[in-house]
A and B are shown apart, each in its own frame.
Chain A
Amino acid sequence: MSLEPVSQRTQPVFLRNVRFGFGGRVIQDEMTFTIEDGEFVAVLGPNGAGKTTLLKLLLGLIRCEAGEVMVFGRKPRRGNSGIGYAPQFRTLDANFAVRARDLVGFGLDGHRFGPGFPSRKRRKLIDEVLEEVHATEYAEASVGELSGGERQRLSLAQVLIANPGLVLLDEPLTNLDIAGAQEIITLVSRLCASRKVAVMLVTHDINPLLPHVDRVLYLANGRCAIGPPQTVITRETLSVLYNHPVEVVEAMGKKFVLGVET
């Protein structure tokens, strides 16, 4: 048996010439990029550009129509425990029947079959991650009585507890005030550095992320551009992407894109 060099593409994310869409309608075409271990990538683009769909592609929830997708050197598959995903819309049913800590515990063993009993180790793991996202205070509260921002933190905690190598966060900053958003961003960027976790974070506002992200993936108009913020969020790149003149204004260390509705 010869040890064939499997794929060299063992990066968290590898895409080459990928096309995806729904029922003949192409959402993104010719998508090519890779994301390295510990990299923090912001995903930007107008509504309907395909940001959420891209994450679902990596999760194996949908298939691409052309091209090659690899996650840690393997084809995307459902239930990949190497990926942590916080969905854009989390409808929490039966809100008052579970506590914050139960929601976080789902990330640990919610997908497992068989009986399963609470243990001290499980409790400790949950306590630690709640501490990490500063949610200890409401650990025992019913999920239904928490604010949107508090739920966002739990969502992040549910993702982190499984210790994934790739974290996909779909608009985790909505519902957060400026301080709350800042706190989550700091947390995520610390995570990238310390645990070498690759992060793709979908957002509509790049400004609070500017000091932290390594690269920006900008989707628009069925195409994408990737690179450091200072090369992607420019008049030249975005005008090509949107296929019409776009202006980028910088003021007080912030970038504002004019001429499109992001």
Chain B
Amino acid sequence: MLRELFSSDIMVHAFTGGAIVAVVAGAVGYFVVLRAQAFAAEAFTDIGFAGATGAALLGVASFAGMIVFSLLAAAGLGIIGNRARGRDVEIGMVLSFALGLGVLFLSIYSRTSASHAMSGINILFGSILTISSNDILLALGSCATALAALALLHRPLLFASVDPAGAEARGVPVRAISAAFLAIVALTTAGCVLLVGVLLAASLLIAPAAAAVNLTNRPGQAIALSMATAVGVTWCGLVLTFTGTIRHLPAGFYISALAALVYGASLVLRKRLRRVRVFEYPHGDRETG
């Protein structure tokens, strides 16, 4: 059955595309979780939605529209936001406005023809099963850029995320770093949207990383765990889509459900890990404080 699965081009594309996006989402997601910017990441998917539908309306590749819109939004947030964390109000406004624009573009666009209605649905729910090699190249490009930027910035980014005052004193350009990170998130969400769609992109970005942070306090380990979990969840989701009893449930459903499951499991495990850790101390009473 599995061999049969991989003999088709569609599946090979889905598995490779999925892995590329998941690896980057896992790594970037770690910093999103550390910086408590899950809401901003969610907003980027909605902004990407407006960009994608707007581009479709203009007859341009929707991925390009997505990238342009979310990078613009990243720049905007970078300019207004001098605080690393939060900014719920601004983000909430931008998010709802972007969503409104997206809905407008989508309704105009899908009225024009039935095939257009279908591609609108792809934007919302992802198109992992119809992903073309062209799309894979696009995802690869944006994800590779995001990953390279992350590799370059990860140390000052971690420093600034955990200890902003210390980082600033040490000469880390905290504001520039946080703006650059938003751009990284923008590129990554665009890739995620391609795979699982606007509605579920944030789940791939946040759940695996949040689970990893629950399970270890070593940054390197957490990033590796988050990337592995994201790939695992994506691949399992794809396998289930094709072999599950109810066939052709959207892959996005399986992926997001598995991601939530992994996060839930990590919460249970964390409780146990914390309890064990107490005994590592020579003075076992530290946890009570």
User: Which residues of A does B touch, CB under 8 Å?
Assistant: 59, 61, 78-81, 85-87, 89-94, 96-99, 102-103, 106-107, 109-116, 118, 137-138, 140-143, 145, 147, 155, 158, 162
* A91 with B171: CB separation less than 8 A: no
B residues apposed to A, CB below 8 Å: 33-36, 84-85, 151-156, 158-159, 161-172, 213, 217-220, 222, 277, 280-282, 286-287, 289
Instruction: Provide the bound-state CA to CA distance between A109 and B172, in Å.
Output: 11
Instruction: List 14 A-B pairs, Cβ < 8 Å.
Output: A61-B169, A85-B170, A90-B165, A93-B36, A93-B162, A94-B161, A102-B162, A102-B219, A106-B159, A110-B156, A111-B156, A113-B156, A114-B155, A143-B162
B162 touches A92 (CB 8 A): yes
Q: When A97-B34, A147-B289 are in contact, do A137 and B163 touch as well, CB less than 8 Å?
A: no
User: When the two chains form their complex, are residues A87 and B155 in contact, meaning their CB atoms are under 8 A apart?
Assistant: no
Residues on B with C-beta less than 8 A from A116 are: 154-155
Which residue of chain A is the closest to B287 with respect to CB atoms?
A145
Residue of B34, B172, B277 near A94 (CB, 8 A) is B34
Q: Distance in Å from the Cβ of B76 to the closest Cβ of chain A?
A: 23
Question: Of B34, B151, B281, which one neighbours A93 at CB under 8 angstroms?
Answer: B34
Known: A91-B164, A103-B163. 20 other contacts (CB 8 A): A79-B172, A85-B169, A85-B170, A87-B166, A90-B165, A90-B166, A91-B165, A94-B162, A97-B217, A97-B222, A99-B217, A102-B162, A110-B155, A110-B158, A111-B167, A113-B152, A114-B151, A138-B286, A141-B286, A147-B289
Report B-chain residues with C-beta under 8 Å of the C-beta of A106.
158-159, 162-163, 166-167, 170
In Å, the complex CA distance between A220 and B18 comes to 63
Residues on the B chain within 8 Å of A140, using CB:
280
Q: What CA separation (Å) do A12 and B172 show in the bound complex?
A: 22
A189 to chain B minimum Cβ distance, whole angstroms, is 23
Contact status A79-B171, CB under 8 Å: yes
Q: A106-B166, A110-B167 are in contact. Are A94 and B35 (CB under 8 A)?
A: yes
Query: CB < 8 Å: which of B33, B151, B218 contacts A99?
Result: B218
The smallest C-beta distance from B159 to any residue of chain A, in angstroms, reads 3
**Could you say which residues of chain B place their CB within 8 Å of the CB of A162?**
170
Partner of B286, one of A80, A103, A145: A145
Within 8 Å CB of A158, what residues of B?
166
- Residues in A with CB closer than 8 Å to B213 are 94, 96-97
Given contacts A93-B161, A111-B171, A137-B282, contact A98 B156 (CB under 8 A): no
Q: Please measure, in the bound complex, the distance between the C-alpha atom of A115 and the C-alpha atom of B151, giving whole angstroms.
A: 5
Nearest 4 CB-CB pairs, A to B?
Answer: A79-B171, A110-B159, A87-B165, A85-B169
Chain B residues near A143: list those with CB within 8 A: 162
Q: Which residues of A contact B170 (CB under 8 A)?
A: 79, 85, 106-107, 110-111, 162
A87 to B169, CA, bound (A): 8
Q: Which of B151, B154, B158 has the most CB of A within 10 A?
A: B158
Residues of A within 8 A of B172 (CB): 79, 110-111
- Give min CB distance, A140 to chain B, whole Å: 7
